[in-house]
Amino acid sequence: MAEIVVRGGMGHAFVVSKGSRFRVMDVEGKQVSDLVAFLRDDPSERFSPGNTRKLNGRLKISREGVLYSTKCRPLLRITEDTVGEHDFLFSSCSAYDYRVRFGLRMDHNSCLGILAGVLAPYGISESMIPDPFNIFQRTLIRPDWALETVEPLSKPGDFVEFRAEADCLVALTACPQDQNPCNGWTITDVKVISE
Ligand SMILES: [Zn+2]
């Protein structure tokens, strides 16, 4: 077992082999982690939230849910999930959206920027990064179809376990969003535990 602590506002990228498992743990609770995945041998094939909604037939997935690629290939399967509330409707927070959504004038640390930083050594540029699977992010869908981001349900030690269904490059963050309840207003660490 290998454990990597991803500090709040930081990220991590790693390769997983088909059949191996890893867990993403919320260390202190209420901390979102944006996860993206690419086919290791051809990163142009990457996680697709649209295909994942279509092929699971659901807006939210938990245990036995599958994260699909742009070519409808299973990349990751959820094998354990102690929370059951995740989001794949929202894009990553980005320097662009902090300006537009929150009126910030200075660049704000963002999941898109963090992912671009940890994926650069693998030759993946920002424009290649797909919208993410937002582990622990809680999105309410109102009767009038409005979307609202509220505090996660995750408690200290909660985790999601994934099994790789293909050889993948995975990258994730400890989301730095502090302008809405996405992370319970406090940015904390996540832990990656792999076989
Ligand atoms: Zn974020």
The pLDDT tens digits for 38-85 are: 999 999 999 999 999 999 999 999 999 999 999 999 999 999 999 999
89 secondary structure, DSSP code: S
Task: With cut-offs at 50, 70 and 90, classify the pLDDT of residue 175.
Answer: very high
Residue 161: predicted pLDDT: 98
- Cα(153) to ligand 1 centroid in Å equals 17
Model confidence pLDDT, tens digit, residues 16-31:
999 999 999 999 999 9
Residue (of 58, 54, 46) closest to 85 by Cα position: 58
Model confidence pLDDT, tens digit, residues 85-130:
999 999 999 999 999 999 988 889 999 999 999 999 999 999 999 9
Neighbours of ion ligand 1 (CB under 5 A): 93, 111, 175, 177
Which amino acid appears at position 62 of this protein?
S
Determine if the pTM surpasses 0.95: yes
Residue 144: predicted pLDDT: 98
Residue 146: predicted pLDDT: 98
Write phi, then psi, for 185 (nearest 5 degrees): 75, 5
Q: What are the tokens at 8?
A: 């709040």
**Cα–Cα distance between 60 and 88 in angstroms, integer?**
7
- Cα(177) to ligand 1 centroid in Å equals 5
- Cα(130) to ligand 1 centroid in Å equals 13
**Cα–Cα distance between 51 and 155 in angstroms, integer?**
29
- Cα(133) to ligand 1 centroid in Å equals 11
Task: With cut-offs at 50, 70 and 90, classify the pLDDT of residue 183.
Answer: very high
- Cα(91) to ligand 1 centroid in Å equals 9
R_g (Cα) of the chain, nearest Å: 15
